[in-house]
């Protein structure tokens, strides 16, 4: 599937932001899952009304396939510069697929405290869940062949674009 057949990621971002705006707490903290979710969290924090501190999670060490697949080539450090304890958290990711990365993100988040609530915002929900995970806010559902990986990319000017590439087992 080429980029021109994929929906406009900027339009999906606008839809996601529109769906979140009236519903999230004015002081909700945004925690982006590296890397696409981190980019989205930064833009959402800048464009949504209210004060929304931003943190970032790398789920590499919490993945349930770590023993069989090893670490990704790029491991980043989790950075949560605010208290998670009793906070309203919105986890932000680019693509929701099996649910395993989100499970890992929740595990990571709880190492930092017990939030009052955790919601999930994703740009694209492509289905294919292997765990009972559902997003509270979705830019759009999108059907993508299982053998393709759908990812968010960011141009130098900060605009988003969706891309696909052949699926590589982690």
Q: What does the pLDDT profile of the chain (170 residues) look like in tens digits?
A: 445 589 999 999 999 999 999 999 889 999 999 989 999 999 999 999 999 999 999 988 665 555 455 545 566 789 999 999 999 999 999 999 999 999 999 999 999 999 999 999 999 999 999 999 999 999 999 999 989 999 999 999 999 999 998 876 54
- Closest by CA to 152, choosing from 41, 40, 42, 20, is 40
Domain 3-166 falls under CATH 3.40.50.970: no
User: Which residues fall within 8 angstroms of residue 79, CB to CB, at 6 or more apart?
Assistant: 55, 56
Quote the CA–CA distance of 50 and 55 in Å, as a whole number. Answer: 16
- Closest by CA to 89, choosing from 28, 38, 134, is 28
pTM of the entire structure? 0.90
Ranges of each domain in the chain: 3-166
Give the count of alpha carbons within 13 A of 134, CB side only: 2
DSSP H or E stretch at residue 17 = helix 9-20
């Amino acid at each position: 599937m080429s980029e021109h057949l994929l929906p406009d990621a900027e339009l999906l971002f606008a839809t996601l932001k529109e769906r979140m705006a009236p519903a999230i707490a004015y002081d909700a903290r945004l925690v982006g899952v590296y890397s696409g979710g981190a980019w989205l969290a930064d833009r959402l924090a800048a464009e949504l009304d209210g004060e929304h501190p931003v943190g970032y999670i790398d789920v590499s060490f919490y993945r349930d396939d770590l023993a069989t697949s090893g670490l990704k080539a790029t491991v980043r450090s989790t950075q949560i510069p605010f208290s998670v304890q009793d906070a309203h958290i919105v986890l932000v990711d680019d693509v929701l697929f099996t649910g395993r990365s989100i499970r890992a993100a929740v595990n990571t988040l709880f190492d930092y405290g017990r939030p009052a609530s955790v919601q999930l915002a994703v740009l694209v929900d492509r289905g294919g869940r292997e765990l009972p995970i559902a997003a509270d806010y979705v830019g759009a559902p999108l059907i993508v062949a299982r053998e393709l990986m759908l990812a968010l990319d960011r141009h130098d000017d900060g605009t988003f674009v969706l891309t696909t590439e052949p699926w590589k087992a982690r």
